[in-house]
A and B are shown apart, each in its own frame.
Chain A
Amino acid sequence: MTGKITLEVTRYHPERDKEPGLQTYEVPLRKEWVVLDALNYVKDKVDGSLSFRWSCRMGICGSCGMMVNGEPKLTCATFLGDYAPGPIRVEPMKNFPILRDLIVEVSDFLVKLGKAKPWLIREEERPLTEGEFLQTPAQLDTFKQFSMCINCLLCYAACPVYGLDPLFSGPAAIALAQRYNADSRDQGAQERLDILSHSDGIWACTFVGECTEVCPKDVDPAGAIQQYKLTAAKEWMKSFLMPWGRR
């Protein structure tokens, strides 16, 4: 594969520009190159002012999420060849405020992730002398898929509800809450429920399902959210019909 391919990249400098615009670059079209390689080529050889996030370049750190031709992708896993002859439009992830060029402000997600309390909550800490927690493969299976999340936020870029409702917790935060609720070692389900089970928490989700479609790690956040809704509904019924039994 020889020749060149055109990239149309969003540029935005908060102190100079009123709004983002597109700038075109020509990069070599190499068979093994991904969009991230092309962006690094631009920064190295063409325009050093181009800013973007990346780190591991192998699909595990979750830093390089961007919109490629309107779809949320990890740029380290998106091959240039698949888009030949181009041009390829590279834009920052949707539904987040743009900080500069291809970099978005993600602190909203971090706050919501904190609210989901993504750690093991125990009523009483287990002393070290009692040894480790034991867990069967079947118990691991109930939450393992949801633990694969790399916080790349592609699901937030794909979720129309997150774009429309700034208060929505979002796919990854809820999937991670469900990951801990389903973990046999965890006892914090009630605490998380109190925070998440309100109209802008899990109930704003209308099961569009795009989050699962774009997830690069097959976490299936849509499935996690529906499971969580079912649990929350059951809890509500229990508290309604048997209010005395509440922990």
Chain B
Amino acid sequence: MPSSTEYSPRTFRKRVSTYWWLHRWPYLRFILRELSSVFVAWFVVIALLQIKALKNGPTAYTEFQEWLRSPTLIAVNVAALLFVVFHATTWFNLTPKAMPLRVRGKRIPSLLIVAPSYFVWLAISAAVAWILLRG
């Protein structure tokens, strides 16, 4: 350890704990937000498996659907759904911070930028649901 000299005192640097993100709730919330991206990737894995099953014929597809019904998968996927919705809401709420829009010199309040995102989200979700549900 270096010792103090007249003009350069020995400063103390605290090591950052591996569990720094547990020390304050805002940090934990941040890590959970980032981990939602893992569930986003998980969705892609499921989607690719589904497409592969579709490609391999009706029996493969039925097996895939049975697999989706197993309790572990349902549990994982409900968690995934919650995290993916968490990703969507935090994403929409944060975008206005990056893009301050102005109309005639006055800054548009964040709510007016966030709200349209939610409307578009609802509209797109409804459209996709309609296409898939009418069979």
* Chain B binds chain A: yes
A residues sitting closer than 8 Å to B (CB atoms) are 12, 14-15, 19-20, 70, 94, 97-100, 105, 136-138, 141-142, 160, 163-164, 206-210, 213, 220, 222-223, 226-227, 229-230
Q: Establish whether residues B12 and A223, one from each chain, have CB atoms under 8 Å apart when the complex forms.
A: no
Closest chain-A Cβ to B37's Cβ sits at a distance in Å of 11
Contact A208–B30 (Cβ < 8 Å):
yes
Q: Tell yes or no: B134 within 8 A of A by CB.
A: no
Do the beta carbons of B105 and A223 come within 8 Å of each other? no
Known: A15-B4, A226-B97. A136 touches B12 (CB 8 A): no
Q: Does B100 belong to the interface (CB within 8 Å)?
A: yes
**With A160-B27, A208-B26 as contacts: A141 and B107 at CB distance below 8 Å:** yes
Q: Which residues of B contact A70 (CB under 8 A)?
A: 23-24
Contact for B9 among A99, A222, A223, CB less than 8 A:
A99
With beta carbons under 8 angstroms apart, the residue of A20, A97, A227 that contacts B98 is A227
17 example contacts (A-B, Cβ-Cβ < 8 A) are as follows A14-B4, A14-B9, A14-B11, A94-B14, A97-B12, A98-B11, A98-B13, A99-B9, A99-B11, A163-B20, A164-B16, A164-B20, A206-B34, A207-B94, A210-B27, A230-B98, A230-B99
B26 surroundings in chain A (CB, below 8 A): 208-210, 213
**Set of chain A residues within 8 Å of B105, measured between Cβ atoms:** 136-138, 141
In the complex, residue of chain A having the shortest beta-carbon distance to the beta carbon of B24: A70
Contact B98 A229 (CB under 8 A): yes
Within the assembled complex, what's the spacing in Å between the Cα atoms of A70 and B24?
9
| Residue contact B20 to A105, C-beta cutoff 8 Å | no
Query: Which A residues are CB-close (under 8 A) to B9?
Result: 14-15, 99-100
What are the nearest 6 A-B pairs in CB distance? A138-B105, A226-B98, A97-B11, A14-B10, A98-B12, A14-B9
Q: Do A223 and B13 have beta carbons less than 8 Å apart?
A: no
For the A-B complex, the count of residue pairs with Cβ-Cβ distances under 8 Å equals 69
For the complex, is B55 an interface residue (Cβ under 8 Å from A)?
Answer: no
A98 to B, closest residue via Cβ: B12
State whether B20 touches A19 (Cβ < 8 A).
no
Interface residue tally of chain B, by bracket?
A: 20 to 34
Q: Which residues of A contact B16 (CB under 8 A)?
A: 163-164
In contact, A223 and B10 (Cβ under 8 angstroms): no
User: Would A208 and B27 count as touching, CB distance under 8 A?
Assistant: yes
Given contact pairs A14-B10, A230-B99, a sample of 14 additional A-B residue pairs in the complex whose CB atoms are under 8 Å apart: A12-B12, A14-B4, A14-B12, A15-B9, A15-B10, A20-B12, A136-B105, A141-B105, A142-B100, A160-B27, A206-B30, A206-B34, A208-B30, A227-B99
Q: How far is the CB of B45 from chain A (nearest CB, A)?
A: 24
Q: Which residues of B contact A15 (CB under 8 A)?
A: 4, 9-10
Q: Please report the C-alpha to C-alpha distance between residue A223 and residue B34 in the assembled complex, in whole angstroms.
A: 18
Minimum CB–CB distance for B107 against chain A, Å: 7
CB distance from A162 to the nearest CB of B (A): 10
Per-residue 0/1 for B80-101: is the Cβ within 8 Å of any A Cβ (1 yes, 0 no)?
A: 0000000000000010011110
Chain B residues whose C-beta falls within 8 Å of the C-beta of A100 in the assembled complex: 9
Task: Determine the chain A residues whose CB is within 8 A of the CB of B107 once the complex forms.
Answer: 141
Residues 12-34 of chain B, each 1 if its beta carbon lies under 8 Å from chain A, else 0:
11101000110110110010001
List of B residues within 8 angstroms of A220 by Cβ:
97
Residue of A nearest to B34 (CB): A206
Chain A residue with Cβ nearest B16: A163
Residues of B contacting A226 in the complex (Cβ-Cβ under 8 angstroms): 94, 97-98
